[in-house]
Structures are given as C-alpha cells and as structure tokens.
Amino acid sequence: MTAEATIARPDVDPELAAFLGAMPQLPPLSAETLPAFRPFASAPVEPLLAGRAVQRRETSVRTGDGHELPITVISPERGTDAAPAGAVLWLHGGGMVMGDRFSQLDIPLEWLDALGLVVVTVDYRLAPEATGALLVEDAFAGLGWLVEHAVELGVDPDRIIVAGTSAGGGIAAGTVLLARDRGVRVAAQVLICPMLDHRDATVSTRQFAAPAVWSREANAFAWSAVLGADRSAVSPYVSPAIAAELAGLPPAFLDAGTAEVFRDEVVDYASRIWAAGGQAELHVWAGGFHGFDALVPGAALSVSARRARIDWLRRTLG
C-alpha cells in the first residue's frame, strides 16, 4: 500500500455509500478502456421528455474551424402571448472525454419544470480527438447561437445562463470567461462539481486516488487527453483555475461534495471570485461524492443539492 493510499478521506453520506457498495468494480480509465466507457456515458433523451409538455428542436451551428456542432433545444409548451423565458446553455459531464448533449440532462430539465427555462444543449467535441481550447470554443459557439436566436426561441437575451456538471462545469466556467473577454452578456453561471484545474495538486486530489467515482488517476488521464504532453501554454479558458483575473463575471453558483477530487479547486475558485469583488454562492455537501446528485438523484442529499440550485436560479433570474 502506498503512502498516498493511506491518506484519510471524509466519509461518504450513508445513503450514498450504500449505492457505491452496490456498484461494480470498473477498470481504470485509460486510452485502452475509453472506447468501452463511452457508450455508458451517453443516454437516450426520449425517456426524459416523456410526460413533459415540451417542444424539441434539433439543429446545428458551424464552428470557426468548420465543424458542425449538434444542438438540441427543449422548450416548455406555452401560449403565443407568453413573456420571454430565461434559457440555459447546458454542457454535459464526462471528463471531456465522453458523454453527449443528453448526459445529465435531467438536471436542467428540472429547471425547465420549475422555472420555465428553455434548455439548449450542445455536443462539444471530446478529447483526445479534439484538444485544447477547441472544446470551449465549441461551447462558446453554442452560446453565440443561443444569443443570436433568442428572440426566435422566445428567450429573454438578458436571462441566459451557462451551466454544466463535472467537465461541463469546467467548460461552462471557461465559456463564461471567454464571453466576458469577447463582450457577450451572460446572466449567471451554474458550475456543478466543476473540473477547473489541470494541475491536479490539491489536498482533495491526493485524498481521492483510486478507487473513487472519479479518481485522481482518471482526472490525470482526462487532462492528458485534453492537453497532451506540453503543458507550457495551457489556456485559462480550458483550465479556469489558472485565469489571472476573475473580475467582471456574472453571479456564480458552485457546488461540490466533501468526498470528491474537485472539492478544493471549487472552493478556491469561489474564493477567488469573492476576492475579485464578484458574487458566488458556494455549497460543499457533506458526504457527497463526485456527481452524487446525478447518479443518485433520489437520495436526501441529492434532493437538497438540486433544490438549492433551483432556489438560487429563482432568486438570481427573478
């Protein structure tokens, strides 16, 4: 047993621990195993939409380098005289190496149910096939499409938020930084257990070496897939934790569990937003492992986490 394996870890919430105990042991994430992991990181959207009074639209936008970026728009049914709605650009999780635009979509669909938000979700390209800032540029292209088509979609352009979970949370943070620097208005950002820091050097990364739902080793593999071997010029849009300036950002909601790799980088990012004079609401859920509310949505801790986001969005968007 290595010295790192003996580092104490915060306990997992008992209800969540029962779920972990029933999970099968999976092989480590690597270049060899990634193709086997990818199908399980995607999910059909139809079961999520069944029973919901929504309209679905499939479209695409061409990125600056000529890539066709698939986009799905899910809008609540409403009358023709309804006031413009808020909207969320949703960015899925999956370590930037797997998942698709329907992954974890139940989270923003709850916001559609509770707040009437239009949900726009994009298939940003994945590493290692795409690398560096391409992933964030894809997300920014999705944001640009949403802004451009806001009136057509019945969306208030002053109530557009960018949100994502895990890798998507990190890409959301990078997209918001890019929007600030390019003069595109974003009303708010929701960063759910976001993947923010390629340096992999916090206490929580050392605590959550394998085995874990998302381990330090899996994180290192994913960042290597995105960045390659040369780390001499990492973009702050890709690794937002290294951004020199966090002033001028829209209000942020950030959360993480105490029992996950990303805990400390999330806390640090919120602290730096406050230090820059910005507004951030931070929740660190005692006993939560990475992605707990997506994997076990019915657990009491998950219900609390999801409710807290909706309450914050209601206060922030009005």
| Domain around 275 | 4-76+83-317
Write the CATH number for 146.
3.40.50.1820
Helix (H) or strand (E) holding 32: none
Residue 143: what are its φ and ψ, rounded to 5°? -65, -45
Q: Each residue of 239-275: pLDDT tens digit?
A: 999 999 999 999 999 999 999 999 999 999 999 999 9
Quote the Cα angle for 69-74-76, to 5°: 160
Q: Distance (Å, rounded) from C-alpha 173 to C-alpha 89?
A: 12
Q: Which of 68-82, 135-149, 288-302 has the lowest mean pLDDT?
A: 68-82
Would you state the pLDDT for residue 234? 96
Q: Locate tokens 């006031």: which residue? A: 83
- The model's pTM is 0.96
Q: What percent of the chain has pLDDT over 90?
A: 91
Give how many domains the chain has, as a whole number: 1
